Structures are given as C-alpha cells and as structure tokens.
Amino acid sequence: MIIQPAKRTEAVQEYYFSRKLKEIAAINRRNAEAGLPPVINLGIGAPDGMPPEAAIRTLTESARRSDVHAYQSYVGLDALREAFAAWYSRYYGVSLDPTCEIQPLVGSKEGILLIALAFLDPGDGVLVPDPGYPTYTSASRLAEARILTYDLREERHWQPDFEALERSDLSGVKLMWVNYPHMPTGASATPEQMARIVDFARRHGILVVNDNPYSFILNDHPLSILSVPGARACCLELNSLSKAHNMSGWRIGMVAGDRELVAQVLKVKSQMDSGMFKPLQLAAVEALAQGPEWFRELNAGYASRRALAGAIFDTLGVRYDPASSGLFLWGRVAPDNPFAALTPDPGKTPGERVSDTLLYRAGIFLTPGFIFGKNGENYIRISLCAKEEVLKKARQIIETTCK
C-alpha cells in the first residue's frame, strides 16, 4: 500500500461471516466443477420469507414516481417516525415523541457504530456481553475504547451477574451493550431483569444500549427497555425491520430514546449519508402497520423450524433449550462429543471442531460459538432461516455422512 492504514483498524479483523462466506463460495465453486451440491448454509440469520405484501407494493409503486429520487431528510419522513412511534406504542407500551425521540437508520447495525462514535472517546470503557454480537466489540475498538467483557453463562440463564459487575472496576465506563432476546443464545429477559439493568446504569452513570431486533421472534411478549421507569435518562434502544418483517436486505432500522441522546447520534449520522431512499421509507410505514396476525404466522413457521433444528442437535448429541427465542438455536457441545472427535485439532474449541466436521465432511455450515466470545467456545448455533426441507435434508446428510 502507498500509505499505512489507520492504527485504529489494527484492533479489528474482517467480520467473521464475511471471511467465512468467501470460503463457502470457494467450496461451492469447486463443488460445481465436480458436480457436487453446494454447501447447506445454516449459519447466518437472514430471513428467507417474503416481506409484507403491502410494503412490496408500496415500494414498487412509489419508485415509479418522479418526485422520490432526490436526497431525503437526515431524520427521515415524518410518516416513518410516526409509524415507528405507533409500533412502539402498540406492541411495547412505550410512548415516543416522533419529532425528536426516534432516528431512522440504514439498519440497526449502522447504529452500533454511530453510537460508539457519538459517545466514546479513546480510552473510555465499554461493557460488552460474552457471548455477544461481535460488532459491539469491533465498533467500540474502532472508537478506540476499552473493552470490558461481562460474563453471560448458561447456569444464570444468560443474564448479567450484577454482583460480579458491582465488584468490578467501573471507573471510566461510559457505555454498556445489552441484547434481549439474546443473540446467540436465544435467552429472553423479564421486565424485572430490565429494571435491574436500568438501576445499575443510573447508579453508575452508564449509558445502556439495548439492541432489540429479535423481540418478536418466537417471543410472545415483546419487551423494550424504554418501558422501564427512568430508562430514558440512561438508555437507548436499537430496533429494525430486518428480522420481524423479513426485510434484512432493505436496511431499515431505528434508534429511540431521550431527545438529547438521539440528537448526538444524528450529529454523527448526518456526516455519513444523505438520507434513506424515499420509497423504502414509505414501504417501511406499511410494514410497521402489520397486525398481530403477521407475527403469529411468522412464528408458527419458526416454531416448526426450531423443532427441526433441535432434531439436528439431537443427532449431533448437542444439548439445547427447545423453547429459546430469536432466529437461532444454540447448543452446548460436550468435550467428548464424537463429531468433535472427527476433527481432532487441540487448537480449536469443541464447537469449532463440530462446525469443521460438518462443513468439510458433510457440506453443512453451522456457526461455531467461539466467535461470540470465550463463553461460547463449547457451543454451536443453527440459523432458523432455512426452509423445513433444507433442515430435514441437513439432518439426513449428517446421519449418513458423519458416522
């Protein structure tokens, strides 16, 4: 290179799934040349269903208009912010002011980096869950913050250990990431647990960000941290249409909270893009108007898939929670698991060895849990974003190939 990259990039690597998808693409090219089937990818949570028909119709019809192709407002359409506010009132029981407490985003993942840049200075402390979404860590590192992981463990139902947090050195900690229903484990939080998070944050002067895209998936009681009294003073919440409306590729998300906090996010965002395509915003308004029947139908399909994913784990001898929420099934791999033994690499975790066995012997990709932190090393994850026949086929292949 003619110049050296910024030093801040030395703290991060290319996203795991970006690297893994390139490897899978190379395997698929070799398989095609050899007349073999492609890899069955059960790794990524990209919903495979169709978005609401009203959203598709609005997108296509409005895109034909001549007045929708210019730059849009940085704060989004009034109609979109009002639709987000109505959605939060209807399903979460949270009243938001659409004029100043909601900021539309190009997907909620964008919001993770925007929040890090808006609130973190070099050396500031950030509490990140382990296991947890890797982007919380990478975004914080790009902001040159200090990462302080807090443990989530199966024996505590993947909830924070507040006694351990209180004993830890919290000096200089400004921000804490939480995520319930939790990815990757599928654990849900109760209102009481959310209230405890808010109490902890208020007493220690920490901004909590709840990343909440899974709240409607296999979960009958959607919960927002903003429903906790006093949460506005110390909390932001990210949400999106990606999971609950089958619109992951559309990149429509939001951040909500106190007007002063939201304004700081906008200050950064307004330097990075020039607004969301208007037809996308109009389509999102239609998607957000979906009634409970949309979620009932969505979850009936995911419940069936969760059972089939459980059958795969049964075949693999992996322990799991059959009632977990979210788009994934999370399973514990015992150290003596026979599928891990088929890939005897002492430098790899049991979960990674099972993942390697399935990918290289059976052409099936399951996500190894180590990518979510050290507390995920003995786990693997199955995405429910695959049709029932694909999940059934994957189990059959495992039964016949990995013996």
Backbone angles phi, psi at 331, to 5 degrees: -135, 145
Same domain for 244 and 106? yes
Q: Reading across the β-sheet that carries 173-178, which strands appear in turn?
A: 102-105, 253-257, 235-240, 207-211, 173-178, 125-130, 146-151
Same domain for 329 and 181? no
Same domain for 152 and 268? yes
DSSP 243: T
Domain annotation covers residue 57: no
Among 290, 325, 346, identify where a domain stops.
Answer: 290
The CATH number for 327's domain is: 3.90.1150.10
Domain annotation covers residue 207: yes
* CA–CA dist 402, 361 (Å, integer): 7
The answer to whether 317 touches 339, Cβ cutoff 8 Å, is: yes
Same domain for 144 and 281? yes
| pLDDT, tens digit, 9 for 90 and up, residues 306-333 | 999 999 999 999 999 999 999 999 999 9
- Distances in Å between the Cα of 96 and the Cα atoms of 153, 190, 243, 276 are 33, 21, 22, 21
Q: How many domains does the chain have?
A: 2
Domain annotation covers residue 217: yes
* pTM of full prediction above 0.85: yes
Same domain for 156 and 14? no
The CATH number for 94's domain is: 3.40.640.10
Q: How buried is residue 274: exposed, middle or buried, by Cβ count under 10 Å (0-12/13-18/19+)?
A: exposed
Q: How buried is residue 254: exposed, middle or buried, by Cβ count under 10 Å (0-12/13-18/19+)?
A: buried
Same domain for 195 and 277? yes
The pLDDT of residue 15: 85
Model confidence at 347, pLDDT cuts 50, 70, 90, reads confident
Same domain for 319 and 227? no
Same domain for 323 and 218? no
Among 290, 306, 322, identify where a domain stops.
Answer: 290
From the list 163, 164, 160, 141, the residue with the least C-alpha distance to 152 is 160
Domain annotation covers residue 64: no
| pLDDT, tens digit, 9 for 90 and up, residues 192-230 | 999 999 999 999 999 999 999 999 999 989 999 999 999
DSSP 362: I
Same domain for 193 and 204? yes
Same domain for 226 and 311? no
Percent of the chain at pLDDT above 90? 90
Domain annotation covers residue 315: yes
Domain annotation covers residue 225: yes
Among 268, 290, 312, identify where a domain stops.
Answer: 290
Domain that holds residue 384: 7-49+293-401
Same domain for 271 and 299? no
